[in-house]
Amino acid sequence: MTSAEIGDVRIEYVIDGPDDGEPMLLIMGMGAQLVAWPPDFVEMLVERGFRVIRYDNRDQGLSTFTDTPPPTRGAVAKGLAARRWAIADYTLSDLADDASGLLDHLGIESTHVVGVSMGGMVAQELTLKYPERVRSLTSIMSNTGHRRHGRTSARLLPALMRQIRAAAPATREEAIERGVQAFRVIAGHDFDEDEMRRMAEAHAARGTQTAVSRDRQLNAINASPDRTARLAEVKVPTLVIHGLMDQLVLPSGGVATTRAIPGSRLLLFPEMGHDLPRGRRAEMADAIAQNARRA
């Protein structure tokens, strides 16, 4: 792994696949590092001819952490309640600038883009802000930024609030266990505890993640405008993937994204929650590759 200096932000990244493969940029979601992409899923994309680029968003992993006073719980709650009250150190537009800067650093003029959750929002913003840089777009378990579509299920909110209010883990082992339980809460029927534990261990091995960094990214989402009207401008082939069991970003987010982007295709999986279930990864990789060929 190596890093790119983009203005005053350092972005850590890793590349898999042949140098002559078609570039594909993977953008991870809120509170997750580049190691959250399942290794077998990355390998499937490589096998389909892509040069796969993963990176840590700012405030995650080995990338730059924002050096300003942390957001208060009150500020986070206000942002969740209404966009006009959200105050953030950066927005999804800034995260899209980071992605574009990474492409500059790598000498890549354009790429296929795949984003999950918050990463799907960043991928959409990258496509809107830098249309010449995106060959195809895949938005997974994400939304358009419209407050009525792709919200978090009320049934999930108590568990999420307990996580937000919990004190910082005292040990590495406690951090790993919390990570596993957090994945369990949002996953679908095919939750794989052993795999999630390996992922949580990989996160912990690259440095302790704090609630502050997660809350900064949450504020970035809450402070960003609704993209629905602008998404009508998207011209590249677009694939939208969502799980019908997703309680963190309800399936209406994927439906709204498909309706907003002309010619986009929607792929729904009944047993998928807010995760990338092992049994569906090959099908997802095929669909992503097919969408890329439409470019």
pLDDT at 71 over 90: no
- Mean pLDDT, the chain, rounded, equals 91
Distances (CA, A) of 274 to 30, 118, 129, 156, 205: 12, 12, 26, 12, 23
Q: What is the mean pLDDT of residues 126-145?
A: 98
DSSP conformation class of 164? H
Q: What is the mean pLDDT of residues 157-170?
A: 73
**CB atoms closer than 10 angstroms to residue 176:** 21
Q: Quick one: 2-153+210-293 is in which CATH superfamily?
A: Alpha/Beta hydrolase fold, catalytic domain (3.40.50.1820)
**What is the crossing angle of helices 92-106 and 118-129, to 10°?**
70
**pLDDT-derived band of residue 86, with 50, 70 and 90 as boundaries?**
low
**At 234, which amino acid appears?**
V
Q: What is the pTM of this model?
A: 0.94
**What is the crossing angle of helices 157-165 and 73-81, to 10°?**
160
SS3 232: helix
In angstroms, rounded to a whole number, what is the distance separating the alpha carbons of residues 79 and 207? Answer: 28
Distances (CA, A) of 89 to 155, 181, 217, 241: 30, 29, 9, 29
Residue among 98, 28, 33, 35 nearest 61 (CA)? 33
pLDDT at 82 over 90: no
**CB atoms closer than 10 angstroms to residue 195:** 16
